């Protein structure tokens, strides 16, 4: 699929269209409809045709294949894998950082630099969350990899260490 999108010089278009497909699969009502074995396949296909009108034929065919093979449940992961491959090809890393307080420009730049170094990416798209329970430090997530440098985690580790040495 990636090779076909690259061949058509349509990575951005495919990424956007697959994001729409992910939205369909993430909608509980739509997912339930597409997975319902009591609903005729051609009715499901008609719904997909309408919902994905204007999408590249391969995107629509992927959606129909997942319905036909009763694999709608993995549709979100398939789309995310494609987007991850596109981002890797383009040198883009997606990262999430959770801190106790909003990042200032200096700390944001430091987190971006650390993610660049860890991933080798040219560009970092950073999403930021604030969670007062972190207490301090940061939790950075890059894909499935989590770097937990939060004060909460360090205090929890210290607590376990002290409890273990008292016994």
Each residue's pLDDT tens digit, 8-21: 887 888 888 888 88
The reply to whether the predicted model has a pTM over 0.75 is: no
Domain extent, residue 63, equals 2-86
Rounded CA separation 140/126 (Å): 10
* Same-domain check for residues 6 and 40: yes
Residue 138 DSSP class = E
CATH code of the domain containing 30: 1.10.520
Collapse the DSSP code of 8 into the 3-class scheme (helix H, G, I; strand E, B; otherwise coil) and give the result: coil
Domain end point (choices 65, 86, 107): 86
* Same-domain check for residues 80 and 13: yes
Rounded CA separation 10/3 (Å): 10
Give me 1's structure tokens: 């699929």
* 111-167 confidence digits (pLDDT tens): 999 899 988 999 999 999 999 888 888 889 998 888 887 777 777 777 777 777 776
Domain count, the chain: 2
Domain end point (choices 86, 111, 127): 86
* Same-domain check for residues 7 and 52: yes
């Amino acid at each position: 699929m990636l090779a076909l999108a690259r061949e058509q010089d349509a990575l951005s278009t495919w990424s956007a269209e697959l994001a729409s497909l992910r939205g369909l699969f993430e909608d509980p009502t739509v997912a339930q409809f597409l997975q319902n074995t009591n609903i005729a396949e051609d009715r499901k296909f008609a719904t997909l045709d309408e919902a994905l009108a204007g999408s590249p034929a391969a995107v629509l065919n992927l959606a129909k294949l997942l319905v036909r093979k009763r694999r709608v449940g993995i549709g979100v992961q398939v789309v995310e894998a494609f987007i991850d491959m596109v981002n890797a090809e383009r040198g883009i890393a997606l990262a999430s950082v959770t801190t106790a307080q909003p990042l200032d420009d200096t700390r944001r730049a430091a987190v971006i630099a650390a993610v660049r170094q860890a991933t080798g990416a040219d560009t970092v798209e950073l999403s930021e969350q604030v969670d007062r329970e972190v207490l301090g430090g940061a939790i950075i997530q890059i894909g499935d990899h989590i770097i937990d440098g939060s004060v909460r985690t360090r205090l929890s580790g210290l607590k376990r260490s002290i409890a273990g040495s008292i016994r």
